[in-house]
Chain A
């Protein structure tokens, strides 16, 4: 059974703060790690797909790193804005094409 864990479960920050959260995943048979941004009632939005140990990806103020040997990924948001408020989901792919999701980190950015 694969377990993908995300921490923290929720996070409240002030506008302008930088923040980061963690995703841990099984390192055996690892293929890829996916990050999504999800606002309730909307489609989860794909942020990054990361495959190689040491990968770093960036999209605007959001960036992510990957450590496949120890099985973790960090997502960073620089200078949080209220529109960044959402649930951030990570998902690991360890066999076939299915994604195994973590429980998500719910971010709330206060103006």
Chain B
């Protein structure tokens, strides 16, 4: 079974440009999460989809970030316009929807390393 995949693995852009990150969850997983780790800090939650609906977007830093999950399969995270402080590793994770709350294992992808110059 394929794991969570993310594309691209690395992205280097200039301040003010737009970048779109993609995540393909494990097939059949209803829950999809985005997390971010900025340099030297902890991994932090951004948002959570259940199928195509945003369940919790309390971690999204501001309105320059837009996440979508059309059709409840893959998800994209767009940053527009990118700022220097957006640099970091963006992780996607997915889980099945069978257990309540956070008791289910979240399976992580390898992340996209974003550098904004």
Contacts and interface: CB of A to CB of B under 8 A. Distances in A.
Given A42-B110, A89-B43, A97 B3 contact: no
Interface residues of B, number: 28
Interface residues of A, number: 24
A34 B106 contact: yes
Contacts of A32: 101-103
A26 interface: no
Interface SS, A side: loop
A49 B103 contact: yes
Given A31-B102, A32-B103, A97-B33, A43 B109 contact: yes
Contacts of A104: 42
Contacts of B110: 41-43
Interface in A29-71: 31-32, 34, 36, 41-44, 46, 49, 51
Interface of A: 4, 31-32, 34, 36, 41-44, 46, 49, 51, 89, 91, 93, 96-104
Interface of B: 3-4, 31, 33, 35, 41-45, 48, 55-56, 58-59, 91, 95, 101-111
Of all A-B residue pairs in the complex, the 3 with the closest CB atoms, nearest first, are: A93-B102, A98-B45, A101-B43
